[in-house]
């Protein structure tokens, strides 16, 4: 059974990255939109943290947790690439 706290952590990191990348539905979008460099660094940091979680938890996640983590990484990576590639 998926750990609700782990799923919440993944959702939090994804939300932070989406806000930084200008997702309209994000409550943090307005604040981060003022500083493009800060916004990009925030999104990249979220992606790095998601990747670290994937490495550190490899073999210890159930299917729901693994899928949530994988999908979050893919969404952030795709958005960063849309906005000019990864640094």
The rounded distance, in Å, linking the Cα atoms of 87 and 67 is: 25
The predicted structure's pLDDT at residue 7: 97
Global pTM?
0.83
Q: Which residues of 10-26 are buried (b: 16+ CB within 10 A; e: fewer)?
A: beebbbbbbbbbbbeeb
The predicted structure's pLDDT at residue 25: 60
**Residue of 36, 37, 45, 54 whose CA lies nearest to 14:** 45
Per-residue pLDDT of the chain (87 residues; tens, 9 = 90+): 999 999 999 999 999 998 888 765 655 555 555 567 788 898 999 999 999 999 999 999 999 999 999 999 999 999 999 887 665
């Amino acid at each position: 059974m998926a750990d609700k706290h782990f799923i919440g952590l993944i959702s939090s990191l994804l939300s932070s990255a989406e806000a930084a990348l200008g997702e309209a539905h994000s409550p943090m979008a307005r604040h981060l939109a003022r500083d493009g460099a800060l916004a990009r660094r925030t999104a990249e940091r979220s992606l790095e943290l998601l990747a670290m979680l994937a490495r550190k938890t490899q073999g210890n996640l159930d299917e729901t947790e693994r899928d949530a983590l994988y999908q979050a990484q893919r969404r952030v990576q795709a958005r960063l690439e849309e906005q000019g590639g990864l640094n």
